[in-house]
Amino acid sequence: MQDPTKKEIRAAVNHLDFGEDFEFDFEAACYWFANFYHSGQSSNLYSVLSTSEYTPGMMETGPDNESSVYNIYLEIVAIFG
């Protein structure tokens, strides 16, 4: 598992185009990736998680499988996972 920065994640998925909500969806996808894969407080992914502009709802446990957030998340996992 790699430990990319948010800048590195952004560069890796920059080719994706999921419409006008891409920035919000990207933030959410990064949040979930960092949440599931960080390796502790000193990792880059923990920094991504703790500085995210996205805050999940109380009942959320991950991205909705039928959303563009999920598709971006899968792309991030494929590249860095």
Note the pLDDT of residue 48.
97
**Overall number of domains in the chain:** 1
pLDDT value, residue 25: 94
Predicted local distance difference test score (pLDDT) of residue 21: 86
Q: Which own/partner pairs from 36-41 qualify as long-range (CB within 8 Å, at least 24 positions apart)?
A: 36/62, 37/1, 37/80, 37/81, 38/3, 39/1, 39/3
Could you tell me the residue range of the domain that residue 39 belongs to? 6-80
Instruction: Tell me if 11 is assigned to some domain.
Output: yes
Query: 73 lies in a domain?
Result: yes
> What pLDDT, in 10s, does the model give residues 15-64?
887 778 889 999 999 999 999 999 999 999 999 999 999 999 999 999 99
Is 1 a member of any domain? no
What's the pTM?
A: 0.93
